[in-house]
Amino acid sequence: MPHSLTKIRIGTRASKLALTQIAEVKELLLQNTSLREDQIEIIPITTSGDKIQDRNLADIGGKGLFIKELEEALITNKIDIAVHSAKDVPPIVHEATQIAAFTKRKDAHDYFISSKFNSINQLPNGAVVGTSSARRKAALLRIRPDLKIINFRGNVDTRLAKLEAQEVDATILATCGLNRLQKNIIEKNIIPLETMLPAAGQGCLAIQIRADDQQNCALVAKINDIISEICVNTERLFLRQLRASCKSPVAAYCKLNSAGELIFRTIIFDFDGSEIFATEQKTKLSDNASTELAELAAKKTKIDAEKLLAKICG
């Protein structure tokens, strides 16, 4: 049975960024529904992805480890809603749950951070860059094959501290996360989409509920941003079509342009960035736009980049 709507229990990761994201969702609920502050309970949950910091995420189960305990809490009725960074949510979630809403997408760009250098191009030969993202690693090596990329885990403050301690020369983080934590953003350090296309869902928050929870489905629909939903679902459907995982160096970004058209760009990379295959699709906004764009891009990728796709998603 769904939990009574006299109080709604929201589950979240326990990091500072996750709690900032929860505050964002809580404010949306207070503004757009009849819920009062005392009816919203925040339940921080430490996930496996947060506990295990010394190993590469792809080797221990992927980004799904950031939502596993939250999914379990949903299924066992310990929470009513789970809030995630959409880029951390695998293309297929547990069948007893559903992604029921997306918040309005914030800046999806990646961001270059270094205490010594001002851009990727300024890094010296053989510079060490920390990232645990297969996509970011491949994109970096595509333009700078001389760089040494090392695994770099931890929350934003942990990674910034490692950078300050000179464990690496630079790192790449999501601009939206830095903005949410009110970090100082330098415009020239925002990496252009042409240099580094984002991960599917980057910049957006995904709200997960139980699959049969009609009450909360109706509730979170009131804070759903329809354009973000269409765009992020396009990206997620593309990943699903490719059977991509967090080990797969795949970028996917959909946006609505000023002419009312959805532009969907994708890139798959070889792990070392030596080979890429890119697609760009365009369609008018419609009810089936997400499926249409995702299927077109996936079909083209499967046909024209069969060997590369088999290598990175096989």
Q: Which of 88, 110, 169, 213 is catalytic?
A: 88
**Contacts for 225 with CB less than 8 Å, ≥ 6 apart:** 102, 103, 104, 105
**Three-state helix/strand/coil letters over the chain:** CCCCCCCEEEEEECCHHHHHHHHHHHHHHHHHCCCCHHHEEEEEECCHHHHCCCCCHHHCCCHHHHCHHHHHHHHCCCCCEEEEEHHHCCCCCCCCEEEEEECCCCCCCEEEECCCCCCCCCCCCCCEEECCCHHHHHHHHHHCCCCEEECCCCCHHHHHHHHHCCCCCEEEEEHHHHHHCCCCCCHHHECCCCCCCCCCCCCCEEEEEECCCHHHHHHHHCCCCHHHHHHHHHHHHHHHHHCCCCCCCEEEEEEECCCCEEEEEEEEECCCCCCEEEEEEEEECCCCHHHHHHHHHHHHHHHHCHHHHHHHHC
Q: Is 225 a catalytic residue?
A: no
Contact between 285 and 230 under an 8 Å Cβ cutoff? The reply is yes
Active site amino acids: 88
